[in-house]
Amino acid sequence: MPGSPLKKSLLRLRAPRRGVALVLGLLAVACSATGSSLTETVPEVNATWAAERMGILPGDTLEIRFTERSDWNHDTVVQPDGKASFLQLGVLLVAGLSPEELDEKLTGAYAADIRQYELTVFVQKTGGRTISILGAVDEPGMYPMPGGRMTMLDAFSVAGGVNEARANLKDVHLVRWSPDERRQLSWRLDARTEQWPVAEPLLLQPFDILYVPMKTIVHVNIWVDQYIRQMIPFPYMIPPIY
């Protein structure tokens, strides 16, 4: 019958399924996006490698020493926001500066009080040099860079490996702070495994962010499980995704 509960239920069931098909179609288009090949892009990325020129970084311990004014000597740690506290001056942004540049900056700031004195800045201890590896790797997170040098494949390895069943390796994102240009740089990389043996190693530097997105179908499966199956009268008719 036109108004029967069963017919209404089946109509409600067909609508979500049509919605799923539409979402699958639209997201399949998005999934077709491909980054630049490693062989073409790695030389460009490596040309921006500037780990040795990044200057003072968060986590570094700075030593400030005054000639003939030892009571003003102090140490300070650079915070995650790139700022550090200095005696009599308060908080200053120092990340990215070389010790020589910071020496000049502090000398100018202290000039009114230490005209007859000199100061010297030392990096007493470097903080943790890390990179972030996010997305469809087995153990996403922030990892130290032993020796300050790491390749993209090293990063995949320390993060437990790439989950190829879920990872969209043809559109990996790399975000990098350039100390030379004073801005963030980013690339989209086609990093599928067949390119690994033929491309030169992609060098990472401290505070790089490497993001491996999930395949579109994985996002769709999660969406179907969380939303579509909750909207239909007999959710068991669309099995959950594991």
User: Alpha-carbon distance 87 to 75, whole Å?
Assistant: 9
pLDDT score at 129: 81
SS3 123: strand
Pick the CATH number of 33-52+129-224 from 3.40.50.1000, 3.30.70.1400, 3.40.50.10320, 3.10.560.10: 3.10.560.10
Q: Report yes or no on whether pTM surpasses 0.75.
A: no
pLDDT score at 3: 52
Phi, psi (rounded to 5 degrees) for 160: 90, 0
Q: Which two tokens stand for residue 26?
A: 């639209």
* CATH class belonging to 58-125: alpha beta
Q: How far apart are the first and last CA of the chain?
A: 38
Q: Which residues of the chain does CATH 3.30.1950.10 include?
A: 58-125
Phi, psi (rounded to 5 degrees) for 22: -65, -45
pLDDT along the chain (242 residues), means of 10: 45 42 45 79 93 84 88 90 90 88 89 75 84 90 80 93 86 87 86 86 91 71 48 39 37
